[in-house]
Structure 1
Amino acid sequence: MLDSPTTADDVPLIGAPDGDLLHVMSLNVRCAIDDTVPGSPDHWPDRAPLVAELLGRERPTLLGLQEARFGQLTAVTAVLGDGYRSVGHGRDGGAAGEHAAIVYDARRLTLLWWDQYWLSDTPRLAGSTWDHVYPRVVTWARFRDERTGRELLHVNSHLDHESADARERGARVVLDEIRSAGLPAVFTADTNAPAAASAPYDVLVTDGGLLDTWRAAAERLTPEVGTFPDYGDPVPGGERIDWILASGGTEVLGAGINTWRRAGRWPSDHTPVQALLRLPAA
């Protein structure tokens, strides 16, 4: 489990939002690797307190997690407190394998429905693929915002790291699902594809009409750096492969790429990306 965070000396990048605003975060938490040793960058027991501190300070309304194993997922929801819930199964079925889970503030958002499918020709078959190495899933959930009475959709995924064809096909599936829902939507993902320079971006943003919240933000809360520092120094102008997209008409008050570390140590090999949004009415 994650220990309770101590954050009194730190100011959140966004923190708990006011009024009708939504704080959305996407975080590839880096899966827990069994054979790591204490002190290594990947070692989950060393990273866990940092993830706890980060999330305890930021307290997003909606969090799209990628790569979380079941124990990591339950630890994240535990540290955020009783008001948070999660949906999503492991990519190998049930609790097995990495999760692309949605974590949400249940004090504000009422879950109306959720589902998960595999990016393959047999989307209901656990573990299925389009002939790429690892199964990839989409988790999506419909919520009612109790502050406004409005409904919204959150879609979360982790696109394939090797197959460009699978990434593009996955993006097309996601766009079709968002369009069919007919609701204001947010999409969070580790896309394994650079923003503004890849087929998934063209499908979803350039041609699909979704907003890249980083580019649409009224205020950029941080410098632009790559979102996969791999435990190294942030790279100015590096590739943004972790995205938060939103329906057209969404007001993006702020967006950030959070490079927070404690004593030089990262919570994950990816940076969290965050956005403060006001979704349009349905």
Structure 2
Amino acid sequence: MSPDTALLARDLHTGPVEPGAPLIGSATGRALHVMSYNIRYHSTTTRPGDPDHWPDRAPLLRRLLALEQPTLLGVQEALFHQLGAVHRALPPGYGMVGYGRAGGSKGEYSPIFYDARRLELLEWDQFWLSDAPELIGSATWGNTVPRIVTWARFLDRGTGEDLVLINTHFDHDSETARERSAHVVVDLVHSFRPHTPTLVVGDFNADARSSAPYSTLVDSGVLVDTWETAEDRLTPPWGTFPDYGRAVRGEERIDWVLASPEVRVLQGAINPAGFDGRWPSDHTPVQALVVPAGG
């Protein structure tokens, strides 16, 4: 195999490093650009130059988000002081809902950022994935850390219709917790049916192809996987947890954008972008361009 052929073979199986243009970018018309992104919490044990060093990663995150400009962004693992980096990367006029899983500004957030020029916030809530969902910090399903759901209902000024976004981060260790969490999310989606198009984003810590949580969600009849239903897939099926390396085709998809069946999915993407050989997070963003009313 020649060097050029070897390079081509490599690039067919691993993601590109430098984005020359946004995969989806700012949405126009009736479409909404939805993104799920685990930005990886700020670890205090890293040093400059480490792949996980937040002060090095933050500028890369801002570059990626400024390029893509999602209308709706569900973030996972953000600590309070990391929220500013996300907010500053987005255009003026964005709002945010959510608070820390340990209460107030403490612990990891699963916040929702939204373009308030396009979307009017009508209501929102946050609860814990446990037997005591209103109890701050509760964890009763075998998970050793609290897990949360943040949801918001919006009026789309562009269409005059309501829509809901649900953002979550399932447990990394307990399969029981993940399965029970999936049932809770299905019940929550049912509560908005049949009149309100609903989107669910998150880090589910479970493979899209072979896990009980995924089956529970997509076999429920109220959700579909936008990667599977997209009219146009803009990228190969990269794995979504490359852990500060190049994304690899066919690896596990543990981050998803789901939608109620009436939502039209124009485009789907798994974004492997890095900058100068570095990556903003250990996860890739997952993106979808959708028309909630199906038009």
Sort the TM-score into its range (normalised by shorter chain).
over 0.9
Offset of residue 74 of structure 1: 2.3
| Offset at residue 101 of structure 1 (A) | 0.5
Look up the equivalent residue of 1:265 and give its one-letter code: R
Partner Cα separation in structure 2 for residue 59 and residue 90 of structure 1: 24
**1:275 has 2:288 as partner:** yes
Does the 8 Å contact 1:92/1:127 carry over to 2? yes
| Equivalent position amino acid for 1:123 in 2 | P
Task: Summarize deviations over 1:136-167 as a string: whole Å, max 9, x none.
Answer: 00000000000111000000000000111110
Amino acid aligned to 1:82: P
Selected match of 1:240 from 235, 253, 256: 253
**How far apart are 1:232 and its partner, in Å?**
2.0
Q: Which amino acid aligns with 1:254?
A: Q
Return the letter of the residue paired with 1:133: T
Residues 43-192 of structure 1 aligned to structure 2 (within 5 Å): 43-130=53-140, 131-182=142-193, 183-192=196-205
Q: Is contact 1:253–1:276 with CA below 8 Å preserved after alignment?
A: yes
1:207 aligns with 2:238: no
State the partner residue of 1:4: none
Amino acid in structure 2 at the alignment position of 1:51: L
Question: What one-letter code is carried by the residue in structure 2 that aligns with 1:27?
Answer: Y
* CA 1:141–1:240: 2 relative to 1, 3 Å: same
Aligned partner of 2:232 among 219, 224, 237:
219
Look at both structures and tell me which one has the larger radius of gyration over its CA atoms.
Answer: 2
In 1, the alpha carbon distance for the partners of 2:229 and 2:35 equals: 16
Aligned 8 A contact 2:189 2:222 in 1: no
Equivalent position amino acid for 2:160 in 1 = G
Q: Give the alignment of 1:8-23 within 5 angstroms.
A: 10-23=20-33
The farther-off stretch of 81-90 and 154-163 is 81-90
Q: Is the 8 A contact 1:212 1:243 kept in 2?
A: yes
Superposition CA RMSD, Å: 1.3
Distance in 2 (alpha carbons) for counterparts of 1:280 and 1:272: 24
- Is 1:175–1:208's contact at 8 Å kept on the other side of the alignment? no
SS of the equivalent of 1:18 reads: coil
Shift of residue 230 of structure 1?
0.4
**Structure 2 unmatched ranges of 5 or more:** 1-18
Task: Please give the TM-score of this superposition, normalised by the length of structure 2.
Answer: 0.90
Q: Give the count of matched residue pairs.
A: 274
Taking structure 1 as the reference length, the TM-score comes to 0.95
Partner AA of 2:161 in structure 1: R
1:132: Cα distance to partner? 1.3
The one-letter code of the counterpart of 1:174 is V
Indicate the residue corresponding to 1:193 in structure 2: 206
CA contact under 8 A between 1:210 and 1:247: conserved in structure 2?
yes
> C-alpha offsets along residues 97-155 of structure 1, whole Å, 9 cap, x if unaligned?
10001010011100000000000111111110123111000000000000111000000
1:254 and 2:267 are equivalent in the alignment: yes
Q: Which residue of 2 aligns with 1:35?
A: 45
Q: CA deviation at 1:211?
A: 1.1
Instruction: Summarize the Cα distance change of 1:219–1:81 in structure 2 as closer, same or farther, 3 Å threshold.
Output: closer
Identical residues among aligned pairs (%): 56
In 1, Cα distance between equivalents of 2:258 and 2:278? 28
Q: CA deviation at 1:207?
A: 3.1
Structure 1 distance, partners of 2:150, 2:32, is 19
Q: Which amino acid aligns with 2:264?
A: E
